[in-house]
């Protein structure tokens, strides 16, 4: 067999190889992974391709292993993710200013934006088996005063062992109505009946009564969508001890705002949940929280 001969001379081949090599070197390496300091060219178990739509952060296989829902209190960082995302999104709308000063998002819309964002994220993170969120029906919002109830679930029974009843408070200038969705045009007969059942107590008092009827493992959280002097941030006052004020003073927005006077320390949502979980049963607990 004779040797194969190239139509190019050795010198030409060297030139061609050099040109080709330069072409390769000039090609930019496209990182397709989002893991810091690591670049892969194919989608892998560790995460999504960078070219994927950026919006939803789907849990990756390893993130769900690292944050296994079956370890105690593993929902705490998840809760922080969910509530942080919900607060940030709500804040965008809270800070919206119509240049013509005609359009103002309704309190009900803001409530729904917060809750929808929270629920979407919590179901993505698959945390609802250990920490769930139950939005109240329109009747329940009137009867119990809460907009929704968060609950830490007991593992085997899935019964709530700790609950946080949440009521959103809006700045008075933002709404004539309380944001429970009770505007005259949607006032149904059922809601009328619910109002009759709940007597003369205001909504804050109804929620405190509801929490007291359950016990010290049920907390009332008043979520302030804006405070006087700081309308664009979201704060909270959480307590299982509002009962101490019942009969002595009216529980209303003014009382809730008063908690912030002179207080320096504000908890994070994670800090709030950790304080609740690590607290000794029966002890009173009152916290101020900043959500944004």
Partner 1 sequence: MQMAATQKESSDQNFDYMFKLLIIGNSSVGKTSFLFRYADDSFTSAFVSTVGIDFKVKTVYKNDKRIKLQIWDTAGQERYRTITTAYYRGAMGFILMYDITNEESFSCVQDWSTQIKTYSWDNAQVILAGNKCDMEEERVVSVDNGRMLAEQLGFDFFETSAKDNINVKQTFERLVDLICDKMSDSLETDPAVTTGTPNARLTDNPPPLQQPNCGC
Note the residues at the interface with partner 1 (CB under 8 A): 134, 136-137, 139-140, 143-144, 146, 149, 158-160, 182-184, 186-196, 210, 213-215, 218
Nearest approach, Cβ of 134 to partner 1 (angstroms)? 5
Pick the closer one to partner 1 by CB: 55 or 281. Answer: 281
Give the start-end residues of each E strand in 114-209.
131-135, 148-153, 160-170
Nearest approach, Cβ of 121 to partner 1 (angstroms)? 19
Pick the closer one to partner 1 by CB: 124 or 195. Answer: 195
Nearest approach, Cβ of 107 to partner 1 (angstroms)? 15
User: For tokens 């409530």, what's the residue?
Assistant: 111
Pick the closer one to partner 1 by CB: 210 or 225. Answer: 210
Pick the closer one to partner 1 by CB: 144 or 224. Answer: 144
Q: Of 89, 105, 177, 93, give the one whose Cα is nearest residue 141.
A: 177
Pick the closer one to partner 1 by CB: 47 or 160. Answer: 160
Nearest approach, Cβ of 101 to partner 1 (angstroms)? 28
Nearest approach, Cβ of 232 to partner 1 (angstroms)? 29
From the DSSP assignment, how many helices (H) and strands (E) are in the chain? 9, 6
Nearest approach, Cβ of 192 to partner 1 (angstroms)? 6
The helix/strand/coil state of 167 is: strand
Pick the closer one to partner 1 by CB: 181 or 269. Answer: 181
C-beta neighbour count of 49 within 10 angstroms: 14
Inter-residue contact 77 to 270 (CB < 8 Å)? yes
Give the C-alpha separation, 257 to 180, whole Å: 19
Pick the closer one to partner 1 by CB: 220 or 234. Answer: 220
In order of 91, 116, 231, 283, the CA distances from 95 in angstroms are 6, 18, 8, 37
Locate 147 and state its tokens.
Answer: 């907009």
Residues sharing a CB contact under 8 Å with residue 216, sequence separation 6 or more, in sequence order? 240, 241, 281, 282, 283, 284
Inter-residue contact 88 to 274 (CB < 8 Å)? no
Nearest approach, Cβ of 184 to partner 1 (angstroms)? 6
Q: Where are the alpha helices (DSSP H) in 42-188?
A: 61-66, 75-94, 107-124, 138-144
Give the C-alpha separation, 147 to 270, whole Å: 21
Pick the closer one to partner 1 by CB: 99 or 282. Answer: 282
Nearest approach, Cβ of 162 to partner 1 (angstroms)? 11
- Residue 132's φ and ψ, nearest 5 degrees, are -115, 170
């Amino acid at each position: 067999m004779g040797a194969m001969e190239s139509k190019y001379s050795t010198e030409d081949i060297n030139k061609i190889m050099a040109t080709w090599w330069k072409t390769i070197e000039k090609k930019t390496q496209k990182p397709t992974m989002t893991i810091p300091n690591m670049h892969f060219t194919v989608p892998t178990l560790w995460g999504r391709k960078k070219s994927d739509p950026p919006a939803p952060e789907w849990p990756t296989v390893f993130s769900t292993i690292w944050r296994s829902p079956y370890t105690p209190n593993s929902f705490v960082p998840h809760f922080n993710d969910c509530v942080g995302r919900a607060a940030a999104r709500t804040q965008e709308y809270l800070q919206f200013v119509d240049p013509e000063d005609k359009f103002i998002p309704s309190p009900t819309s803001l409530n729904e934006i917060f809750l929808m964002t929270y629920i979407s994220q919590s179901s993505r993170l698959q945390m609802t088996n250990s920490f769930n969120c139950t939005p109240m029906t329109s009747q329940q919002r009137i009867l119990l005063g809460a907009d929704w109830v968060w609950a830490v679930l007991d593992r085997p029974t899935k019964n709530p062992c700790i609950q946080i009843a949440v009521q959103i408070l809006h700045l008075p200038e933002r709404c004539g109505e309380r944001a429970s969705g009770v505007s005259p045009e949607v006032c149904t007969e059922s809601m009328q009946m619910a109002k009759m059942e709940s007597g003369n107590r205001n909504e804050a008092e109804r929620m405190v009564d509801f929490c007291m009827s359950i016990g010290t493992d049920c907390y009332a959280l008043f979520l302030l969508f804006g405070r006087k002097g700081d309308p664009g941030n979201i704060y909270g006052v959480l307590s299982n001890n509002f009962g101490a004020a019942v009969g002595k003073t009216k529980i209303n927005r003014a009382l809730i705002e008063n908690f912030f006077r002179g207080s320096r320390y504000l908890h994070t949502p994670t800090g709030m949940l950790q304080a609740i979980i690590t607290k000794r049963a029966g002890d009173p607990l009152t916290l101020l929280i900043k959500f944004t």
